[in-house]
Structure 1
Amino acid sequence: MQPKMKVSRVFVYAALILFALYFLFPLYVMLSTSFKSLDQIHTGNMLTLPTSPTFAPWVKAWAHACTGVRCDGMQPFFMNSVKMVIPAVLISSIIGAFNGYVLTHWRFRGADALFTMLLVGCFIPFQAILLPMARLEGFFGLSNTIGGLVLVHVVYGIAFTTMFFRNFYVSVPAELVKAARIDGAGFFMIFTRIMMPISLPIFMVCLIWQFTQIWNDFLFGIVFSGVDSMPITVALNNLVNTSTGVKEYNVDMAGAIIAALPTLLVYVIAGRYFVRGLTAGAVKG
């Protein structure tokens, strides 16, 4: 039995290493290419390491590359994404926490039907809300602005954050809320003093989920943004498709890594909280 267990374990680890290499291979190609000069790219192949590493492609992608008619790099669009993602993530997470608290511990007539409708909202495709959202943003005067992008991501994300928090708060004993009511705690005191302090794991789930969805979004960005409010995903698309002579693959690769770095950092820093939040009840029915 013992030798069989060792053989199976070796097989499992070998399979995991193989899959890890398979998924990391594109990242290796991107990183190595981003540090190569154009001469090495043209004379070598994609798999070789850079012989004379250079940061010039990174500098150009950040500050000088052309993204359409503008040639000021990805820096302004990176900041647009930061200005968009922080308020959108925080607002949608707080509203989701409030909704989940109400739907579990301050139930009312029609609460189940409302939650069902919110769940349906999780499966509505992005394309189905483009025209209604465009009309709404035009009505509020938010077209082609960062505020308009924040609005659309908050509206679309509320269904997901509500589902996460509602399923997490179901695992909180109802006796805890009842005891607080007996002690004189009201609606908002229970929410801020009891629910919020124990919600860190599920907050991290929502923050990571929403940050990833919003930062990597392209459709809403290209539809609802203007020239001065484009997020970094739209700028990256323009960078790759803009040609001013020789195709600079090293600059394109550097720009792609710059666009992906924030989500990678979020997962590295808060990934353990994501798993903890899911196992604490975020996906319980």
Structure 2
Amino acid sequence: MARGRKPKKMSPARYGLYGLLVISATFFLTPLYVMIVTSLKTLDEVRLGKLFALPETVTFDAWIKAWSSACTGVTCEGISPGFVNSVQITVVSVIISVMLGAVNGYALSFWRYRGANVLFGILVMGAFVPFQAVIYPLIVFQREIGIFGSLAGIVMVHCIFGMPIITLIFRNYFASLPEELFKAARIDGAGFWQIFVRIMMPMSVPITAVAVILQTTGIWNDYLLGLVFGGRDNQPMTVQLNNIVTTSYGVREYNVNMAATILTAAVPLAIYFLSGRFFVKGIAAGAVKG
């Protein structure tokens, strides 16, 4: 059986690099450790103040209460309704924004129509406009068309704010592909949508994964837009988590707060852990080129 080259002796520089990585990992993982062990303790044990100590008796009561019966204002249904709202908002917003961004990036890369560069410049500028500056005009606009405070309203807002960066990502990726593929398809008689569906999209799986990850984590972690545009019936998990943590009456249950926080962050963490290699591959394939 063939064997690889025997590793060289560890140098002082490599020891220093590994030491720095261990210190960095410890720094960033310590808050997560505290959250997990606190969520597994009883409230009486939490009050002892032993922050880093392992729980004497592991219990999942805080997790059950955070999910199903913690109070988020006047209702005590936990964050499970917010989870359903976040899933609906995220899935619909990601599908629409990624598909529109892919079509825009494809059109701006190969179909050089008059004013394409101007439109691309406007889209790039839109990526740097603080969304706080346009919240009020969007509120007025949605009120006039009758979708303010609805699922359609919050989805539209996320698609608008995600469009510039997603378009930029796809445009730079498509611009890095050989133009001969596009010209050959045109000679064979393929049209706009045939080239996009049969050639461009199958080749853009890595960059699509990047766009999906960016949009999913950004929309799921959003608080301000969900609070303003979601309405009472479409509040995401982040808004309900804030209502649980900042409650000003009754006993402050830190174990429940920690469990609710971990449940809210579980989806983005899972996405990064499961699809991290696709994200790196997509970035290397052209997401930051151009």
Question: If the length of structure 1 is used for normalisation, what is the TM-score?
Answer: 0.97
The Cα RMSD (Å) is: 1.3
Deviation at 1:140, TM superposition (A): 2.3
Separation in structure 1 between the aligned mates of residue 44 and residue 106 of structure 2, nearest angstrom: 59
Runs of 4+ more than 4 Å apart: 2-5
* Cross-structure match for 1:191: 196
- Do residues 225 (structure 1) and 220 (structure 2) align? no
Separation in structure 2 between the aligned mates of residue 80 and residue 130 of structure 1, nearest angstrom: 21
Separation in structure 2 between the aligned mates of residue 129 and residue 248 of structure 1, nearest angstrom: 37
Separation in structure 2 between the aligned mates of residue 106 and residue 10 of structure 1, nearest angstrom: 52
Matches within 5 A, 1:1-285: 6-285=11-290
Count of paired positions: 284
Deviation at 1:44, TM superposition (A): 3.5
Letter in 2 for 1:199: S
SS in 1 for 2:58: coil
Question: If the length of structure 2 is used for normalisation, what is the TM-score?
Answer: 0.95
Separation in structure 1 between the aligned mates of residue 170 and residue 10 of structure 2, nearest angstrom: 40
Letter in 2 for 1:82: V
Separation in structure 2 between the aligned mates of residue 8 and residue 143 of structure 1, nearest angstrom: 57
Question: After the TM superposition, which of the residue ranges 224-233 and 185-194 deviates more from structure 2?
Answer: 224-233
Question: After the TM superposition, which of the residue ranges 239-248 and 228-237 deviates more from structure 2?
Answer: 239-248
- CA deviation map 1:23-75 (0-9, x unaligned): 00000000000000011011242111111010000000000000011101000
Separation in structure 2 between the aligned mates of residue 35 and residue 64 of structure 1, nearest angstrom: 17
Structure 1 gaps, min length 5:
none
Separation in structure 2 between the aligned mates of residue 225 and residue 111 of structure 1, nearest angstrom: 34
Letter in 1 for 2:30: F
SS in 2 for 1:280: helix
Question: After the TM superposition, which of the residue ranges 230-239 and 142-151 deviates more from structure 2?
Answer: 142-151
Letter in 2 for 1:203: T
Separation in structure 2 between the aligned mates of residue 178 and residue 189 of structure 1, nearest angstrom: 13
- CA deviation map 1:153-188 (0-9, x unaligned): 001100011000000001111110000011111111
Deviation at 1:4, TM superposition (A): 9.4
Give the share of equivalent positions with the same residue, in percent. 50
Change (3 A) 1:68 1:109: same
Deviation at 1:143, TM superposition (A): 1.2
Separation in structure 2 between the aligned mates of residue 239 and residue 7 of structure 1, nearest angstrom: 49
Letter in 2 for 1:240: V
Deviation at 1:243, TM superposition (A): 3.6
Letter in 2 for 1:130: I
Separation in structure 1 between the aligned mates of residue 281 and residue 145 of structure 2, nearest angstrom: 39
- CA deviation map 1:85-139 (0-9, x unaligned): 0010111000000000000100111111111111111111120110111112112
Letter in 1 for 2:251: V
* Cross-structure match for 2:4: none
Separation in structure 2 between the aligned mates of residue 120 and residue 4 of structure 1, nearest angstrom: 51
SS in 1 for 2:189: coil
SS in 1 for 2:217: helix
SS in 2 for 1:272: helix
Separation in structure 1 between the aligned mates of residue 230 and residue 93 of structure 2, nearest angstrom: 15
